[in-house]
Amino acid sequence: MEDEKKAPEISYQIRVKPGRAGTDPNAPDWEVCELEDGVVKNSADIYDNMTEAEANQIAGMWRKKKEEAETTVTDSVN
C-alpha cells in the first residue's frame, strides 16, 4: 500500500484578538485565523486589527477562494 498524505482541512476562524475587549464590533479588536486541522500552524496566517465586519468580509473572501479552487481541481480531474 502506498502511504498517502492527507491534505489538511483548512478552515477560518474569526475571533477577538487576545488581550482585547471585543465588546465593540466597530473596534479593531478582531482577527481572522487560517486553521489547518483546527490549529493555527503559522502566525502569518492571522490577520488582525480589524472590525468584526472587516474580519467577516476577509473570512468570506477566503472561503469563496477556497471553494473556487476546490471546484477548479474537481473540474480538471473529471
Locate the DSSP E strands across the chain: 10-16, 30-36, 46-50
In this prediction, residue 49 carries a pLDDT of 96
Structural domain count of the chain: 1
3-class secondary structure, 67: helix
Return d(Cα 76, Cα 46) in angstroms, integer. 31
State how beta strands 10-16 and 46-50 pair. unpaired
User: Once rounded to an integer, what is the mean pLDDT over residues 65-73?
Assistant: 86
3-class secondary structure, 72: helix
pLDDT in tens, 12-33: 999 999 999 999 999 999 999 9
Any domain includes 1: no
In this prediction, residue 52 carries a pLDDT of 96
Return d(Cα 24, Cα 41) in angstroms, integer. 28
Any domain includes 67: yes
pTM: 0.79
Domain span holding position 40 = 10-73
